[in-house]
Structure 1
Amino acid sequence: MKRFHRVAAVFAAAALLTGCAGGTGGGTDPGDVNPEGEIEPREISWLLSRPAEGATITIMQQLADEYAADHPGFKLNLITTPDRPSYIQKYETLAAANKLPELFDTDATPYAQQLAEKGQMVDAEALLKDLGYYDDYRENALNYQRFDDGSLYMIPFEFQLEFFWYNKELFEEAGVSVPESLDDFPALCTDLRAAGVTPIALDGQDQWPLERYMAYQPFRLAGPDYVQGVKTGETQLSDEVGTKSVEWLSDLAEAGCFDEGFSSTGYADAQALFTSGKAALYNIGTWELGNLATEALDEGVRDDVDFFTLPTVADAATEPNEYVVSSGIGMAVNAKTYDPLVRDFLGYALERYPELYAETGALSPTTNVQTAVPENATPLYEKALMAADDLGSSLAMPWDTQLDPASNTRLQQELVLLLQGNASVDEFISTVDTTIAENAPKYFG
């Protein structure tokens, strides 16, 4: 019954959007980024998967209101679904019905690439170049949004670096130091456990944080392209790189690296474990600078917190300054409803957005603005910002944005079993390889 109501609601949303996504005879060629015609103000919609009170939505609404003041009749309708699984269901249902609104959020997933190949998305690289903004963007911010073939169909609104935050005092009490290699993690966890400390706080409920750990060893051992072979079934986890990666995860479990009951620990609870001094490590991105690098952090641990970047391994294929760097979920532009109005509004908004976003204390996806450091920031805040200026070009892509949906869901389930000790290394590899072999051909054609 619940499933029926959820699906019904999605189709209701599709019907609602039919009226606001019609356009005025917009272009259908994804490369026609500067269509001819008059700017005729109307309501356009943006299907979002972002926090309703977050900086991106707040700023874009402000810019839309300013634009509307000069273009009577214009309105930006924000359709927000912060819960990612629910959003993906809505997004894919609307896409299948060919009823996506003018703007919509999407990661650079295989599904999104299929939409682009069908001509349903405007060429974002061509659009940014035509508007004169392309060269302002950080290379890594754009590259995170690219498909496997290098094409760019999403516009970034964020720029995030992911670090391992750690408690220096807990490290000192346990007699451990910052790991130089990923292979040092099991011993590190063992020593922290012996000192009575939870080694790593993990949001297992949302699954993506655990999947990050799946990506680390392959990225260091074989580079960013490894996942491309795995997701299509051309490469199996049973090979040397995959086996070592799964064995490493199993070693983390055996060493008790994660908090007990991690699979039911939510985002806020995982963060609280670290910020209360009960966990020694927390792997999270710069979107949490306000909580981890300002006086908002409990003064009992404030002076003990520091961070390090993803450790390397022997004979690594990637450099120490290459790790998980993302530009968040991107915004795609519907080619079907694209017209002079949509182009003009985006031109207006993208010109001013970076400065307003940087004023919030966040890293802009562009390099032409300077991030404002809050008055209550600790020295870690600027240290984190400076890391953005020393990055390599390889990105550790989150596997949840790469695998086909069915295989990704099964991988997440099996990761929990592996790290709970309920699946062996061989069982995990066999199950995941078999699942991908069954699903990838159907998905990737």
Structure 2
Amino acid sequence: MKRNVLATSTLLAALLLVATACGSTADNNGSNNSGNQAAEAENAASGSAGGEKITLKMMHLWPDGSNSAQNKMVKEIIQEYEDANPNVTIATEVLENEQYKSKLKVLSASNALPDVGFTWAAGFMDPYVNGNMFAPMDDLLQGDLKDKFVAGTTEAYAFGGKTYALPVELNIVPVYYNKDIFAKYNLTPPQTLDDLKNIVKTLNDNKVTPITLGGKDGWPASFWYMYLAERLGGKDMLDKAVAGKDFSDPALLEAAKQAQELVKMNAFVKGANGLSNDEAKALFMNEQAAMFAMGTWEVPNYTTAADVPQAFKDKIGYFKFPTVAGGQGSVDDWVGGPGVGLFVSQNSKHVEEAKKFVSFFVQKWGEHSVTDAGVIPATKVDTSTLKLPAMFTDLLNELNKANKVTLYLDTQMKPGASSTHINMVQALFGSAVTPEEFIKKQDEALKADK
């Protein structure tokens, strides 16, 4: 089955559409569109009121505490749906990111996926789609959700002309930093990699952990590698490497060398490869590290999350990954892409009811995510009349200026190559392999085409 990877130009157009809305003037039909959207969501929900008793099982990956804004929003959407459909109960199971991925694999092996769950795009979905485990969603895209999504956001979930999941978020990866820590040591956000290395040295000299990193999970370290590779080799190099199954570009090797140089400088928290992303994040939230590179799904913790003290939120800023001397990349090239998307299990006993819930969920998420959680949704939202946190507005403006958004390597690659990438990037940041060995193993995995 042919896999459709999200085209960069299409994704960029999607991001531009969301960002431009932030600064545009509300059109005359804005309120009517909002009303129509709410009415359609209500219609999608009302079809099952008073019918047979149904329980839909749902799995998601936003535990309360680590992702409290998203967790609260999921609970509220479920409550709205259950109120409108008293015969339907949504039974949820919530797991953190890596536990979620592991359980999804276990459940799929026994054809026991939940009725509704979340998946990542592109290569991650290959085995589920090829195994006929996800129900096609095209009927929703041609029905209740027609023209609701920002253009370009659903393509990464399409295989062989059919769409098997629907995205709820768009994300990019800034480097968040603690402004108070920077000010204490007279530091400013880095413009170049050399600037970053000087910041690392200053912080280490003052016994402050420069960067927190959850290397145990692999993908957070991949962000750092990807940015180094892009800044060295240019905005299209990584996409070409994956599509061409060729990881031999000299810039890819140099990026691996630069990553290990940062490791040797003690840029990252001690024992990073033993920390999960949630553990690494806790260090930043507790002001025990100065920097944290992570997706914009973290923005609620720095803007809208009610359980995070405002005093802490005021201390957090972000910067774009710096350039590398002699490199071809730009600070306006980002790592990112569509976030997780909702799937419906093909083996669900209640496929149609599950699809109705997905339709309702997607629309409600789009309505509430910007104002209630500070999350960039995959559906169209007119933000021109909304009062948004400064960081959220600034990041939308960054998207407006973006040259390119490169989809995460572990998502782009097929499962075998993706697994190799995660293992090898862990080994690279743990100094367990040389840069040359890292490149050789990744190249072999891509060429194996698994």
* TM > 0.5 fold call: yes
Give the aligned residue type for 2:265.
A
Are 1:283 and 2:297 counterparts?
no
Offset at 1:350?
3.6
Structure 1 pair 139/92, CA: closer, same or farther in 2 (3 Å)?
A: same
- Aligned 8 A contact 2:226 2:335 in 1: no
Give the aligned residue type for 1:258.
F
Are 1:55 and 2:72 counterparts?
yes
Structure 1 Cα separation of the partners of residues 363 and 417 of structure 2: 39
SS across alignment from 1:205: helix
Structure 1 pair 172/349, CA: closer, same or farther in 2 (3 Å)?
A: closer
Structure 2 Cα separation of the partners of residues 274 and 111 of structure 1: 29
Structure 1 Cα separation of the partners of residues 130 and 292 of structure 2: 39
Give the aligned residue type for 1:205.
K
- Aligned 8 A contact 1:361 1:373 in 2: no
Offset at 1:130?
1.4
Instruction: Report which stretch shifted further, 254-263 or 115-124.
Output: 115-124
Paired-residue identity, %? 20
Counterparts of 1:74-153 in structure 2, within 5 Å, are 74-78=88-92, 80-110=93-123, 112-117=125-130, 120-124=133-137, 126-139=138-151, 141-142=153-154, 145-146=156-157, 152-153=163-164
Structure 1 pair 101/362, CA: closer, same or farther in 2 (3 Å)?
A: same
Structure 1 Cα separation of the partners of residues 343 and 288 of structure 2: 41
Offset at 1:65?
0.4
- Aligned 8 A contact 1:45 1:102 in 2: yes
Structure 1 pair 348/277, CA: closer, same or farther in 2 (3 Å)?
A: closer
The Cα offsets for residues 121-148 of structure 1, whole Å up to 9 and x where unpaired, read as: 3443x334312534332346435x4358
Q: What is the aligned-residue RMSD (CA, Å)?
A: 3.8
Structure 1 pair 300/362, CA: closer, same or farther in 2 (3 Å)?
A: closer
Structure 1 pair 428/367, CA: closer, same or farther in 2 (3 Å)?
A: same
**Partner of 2:437 in structure 1?**
427
Structure 2 Cα separation of the partners of residues 284 and 354 of structure 1: 22
Offset at 1:174?
4.4
Offset at 1:257?
0.9
Instruction: Report which stretch shifted further, 246-255 or 405-414.
Output: 405-414
Are 1:193 and 2:198 counterparts?
no
SS across alignment from 2:216: coil
TM-score (norm 1): 0.72
**Partner of 1:67 in structure 2?**
84
Q: Which runs of 5+ in 1 are unaligned?
A: 1-37
**Partner of 1:11 in structure 2?**
none
Structure 1 Cα separation of the partners of residues 52 and 169 of structure 2: 28
Offset at 1:244?
1.7
1:209 to 220, 224, 240: 220
Offset at 1:258?
0.6
- The alignment of Structure 1 onto Structure 2 pairs a total of residues equal to 391
TM-score (norm 2): 0.72
The Cα offsets for residues 274-305 of structure 1, whole Å up to 9 and x where unpaired, read as: 34544221112333334334696667766543
The Cα offsets for residues 100-130 of structure 1, whole Å up to 9 and x where unpaired, read as: 4443321124352344356543443x33431
**Partner of 2:235 in structure 1?**
223
Give the aligned residue type for 2:289.
A
Structure 1 Cα separation of the partners of residues 310 and 111 of structure 2: 52
Offset at 1:406?
4.8
SS across alignment from 1:274: helix
Structure 1 pair 372/277, CA: closer, same or farther in 2 (3 Å)?
A: same
Q: Which runs of 5+ in 2 are unaligned?
A: 1-46, 65-70
Counterparts of 1:343-354 in structure 2, within 5 Å, are 343-354=355-366
2:246 to 231, 235, 239: 235
Structure 2 Cα separation of the partners of residues 243 and 155 of structure 1: 35
**Partner of 1:397 in structure 2?**
407
Offset at 1:246?
0.6
SS across alignment from 2:154: helix
Instruction: Report which stretch shifted further, 388-397 or 296-305.
Output: 296-305
The Cα offsets for residues 37-91 of structure 1, whole Å up to 9 and x where unpaired, read as: x97645253442322541353133213303323xx4x33333x251444433443
Counterparts of 1:206-355 in structure 2, within 5 Å, are 206-220=217-231, 221-223=233-235, 226-227=238-239, 229-230=241-242, 234-236=245-247, 238-293=248-303, 303-313=314-324, 320-335=331-346, 337=348, 340-355=352-367
Are 1:362 and 2:379 counterparts?
no
Offset at 1:166?
1.8
Structure 2 Cα separation of the partners of residues 412 and 348 of structure 1: 35
Structure 1 pair 297/239, CA: closer, same or farther in 2 (3 Å)?
A: same
Give the aligned residue type for 2:293.
N
Structure 1 Cα separation of the partners of residues 109 and 420 of structure 2: 23
Offset at 1:428?
2.8
**Partner of 1:181 in structure 2?**
192
Structure 2 Cα separation of the partners of residues 361 and 372 of structure 1: 13
Offset at 1:165?
1.4
Offset at 1:162?
2.6
The Cα offsets for residues 14-54 of structure 1, whole Å up to 9 and x where unpaired, read as: xxxxxxxxxxxxxxxxxxxxxxxx97645253442322541
Structure 1 pair 388/50, CA: closer, same or farther in 2 (3 Å)?
A: farther
Are 1:162 and 2:166 counterparts?
no
Give the aligned residue type for 2:215.
G
- Aligned 8 A contact 2:81 2:360 in 1: no
- Aligned 8 A contact 1:166 1:306 in 2: yes
- Aligned 8 A contact 1:121 1:153 in 2: yes
Offset at 1:326?
4.1
Give the aligned residue type for 2:428.
L
- Aligned 8 A contact 1:407 1:436 in 2: yes
**Partner of 2:68 in structure 1?**
none
Structure 2 Cα separation of the partners of residues 102 and 138 of structure 1: 26
